[in-house]
Amino acid sequence: MPENRQVLIDSLPSGKLEASNYKLVSSSMPEPAANEVLCRTLWVTVAAGARAGLQGSASYAGAPKTGVVMNGAAVARVEMSLSSDFEKGDLVVCNAGWQDYSVHDAASLKKLEGSVAPVHHLGVLGTNGLTAYFGLLDIGKPQPGQTVMVSASGGSVGHIVAQLAKLKGCRVVGTASSDEKARRLTQTLGIDAVVNYRSPDFRQLLKEATPDGIDVYFDNTGGDILGSALFRMNEHGRIACCGVVSQYDTSNPAPGPRGIPGLLVNKRITMSGFLVFDFAERYAQAREQLSAWIQSGDLAPLVDEIDGLENAPEAFVDMLAGGNIGTRVIKVAE
């Protein structure tokens, strides 16, 4: 009988997350009951937002727990089905978490359709891409010729936001965690400018990269980058608050930006937090549009694949430090 490897949350981080907060164990194979399906994980995500789930109670991800399998969406293959809706070999998206095998109620599975590569269902056609789509288009409302800034522009959400903003005819300015990464992003994504937020001259560099100010800021980070963006916002600008990755990897989040609420008033800025789940009834329509852009070549989603379930903890720690470009996934099985 095959082994079911699982990565458990062994302890909660007291400061920065470390790979040692996880433990790889071998457990018995789960068995499906009536209307359940046994799935084999092919790829599983490491998602920045999941770091918030290890932090405390003030998160949509819920209160943190130890001794459980680390959460993560997966593309999986059906190994055994006790449901008439699925058969062995079907590819599905499920909340498998970081493990080889998992059992799911058939109603919770989504069968993969369409001609887009399966792994993209964890990126551009999954939560990341939908977040980029609704956050930029519905909350940010960019107009052709405007300037869109996106933080963590190499990230799973950010790299799609950047491309969608280019598609909408905007000047796009991103941030990244090193000069080298900034150069790669400019070349890979066609972003107009990417600024290294760790540079001591960050504010000056951001100013130079946004000669006409910023009309839409898609904020994945919060913290100092948000504070700096506020000073470059144009009147009646819009800030789509998507995530706070600058504050996830700590047990002591920093105060908010000094310009709030003063700059919001002076510049009549609107800042809106959003969660993609609120747009669920429009997912199908968004996926259709995103798929069409991929097929036309207008959108080139990036997948940053790390091999081996055992490497998931290190891959997560590295991603929180800005090591990825595109959606980081763990390749668990062929």
**DSSP-assigned letters across all residues of 138-173:** III---TT-EEEESSTTSTTHHHHHHHHHHTT-EEE
DSSP-derived letter for residue 235 is: E
Is residue 84 close enough to count as binding its own copies by CB under 8 A?
no
Is residue 187 close enough to count as binding its own copies by CB under 8 A?
no
Around Cβ 88, how many Cβ atoms within 10 Å?
11
Closer to its own copies by Cβ: residue 14 or 270? 270
Closer to its own copies by Cβ: residue 169 or 256? 256
Q: Which listed range, 100-108, 111-119, 177-185, 265-273, lies at the site for its own copies (CB under 8 A)?
A: 265-273
Is residue 243 close enough to count as binding its own copies by CB under 8 A?
yes
Is residue 198 close enough to count as binding its own copies by CB under 8 A?
no
Q: Which amino acid makes up residue 321?
A: A
Query: How far apart are CB 171 and its own copies at their closest, in Å?
Result: 23
Handedness of CA 47, 52, 53, 55 (dihedral sign): positive
Coil, helix or strand for 36?
strand
Is residue 271 close enough to count as binding its own copies by CB under 8 A?
yes
Closer to its own copies by Cβ: residue 56 or 190? 56
Is residue 254 close enough to count as binding its own copies by CB under 8 A?
yes
Q: Which listed range, 115-123, 157-165, 250-258, 287-295, lies at the site for its own copies (CB under 8 A)?
A: 250-258
Query: Which of these, 61, 60, 79, lies nearest to 70 by C-alpha position?
Result: 61
Is residue 259 close enough to count as binding its own copies by CB under 8 A?
yes
Residue from 263, 289, 314, 318 touching its own copies (CB under 8 A): that is 263
φ/ψ of residue 99, rounded to 5: -155, 165
Is residue 242 close enough to count as binding its own copies by CB under 8 A?
yes
Closer to its own copies by Cβ: residue 102 or 220? 220
Give the span between the Cα atoms of 210 and 113, in whole angstroms: 41
**DSSP-assigned letters across all residues of 264-294:** HHHHT-EEEE--GGGGGGGHHHHHHHHHHHH
Given phi > 0 = left and psi -120 to 50 = alpha, else beta, which region is 296?
Answer: alpha
Is residue 253 close enough to count as binding its own copies by CB under 8 A?
yes
Closer to its own copies by Cβ: residue 81 or 210? 210
Interface contacts to its own copies, rule CB under 8 A: 58-60, 219, 222, 226-227, 239, 241-244, 247, 253-275, 278
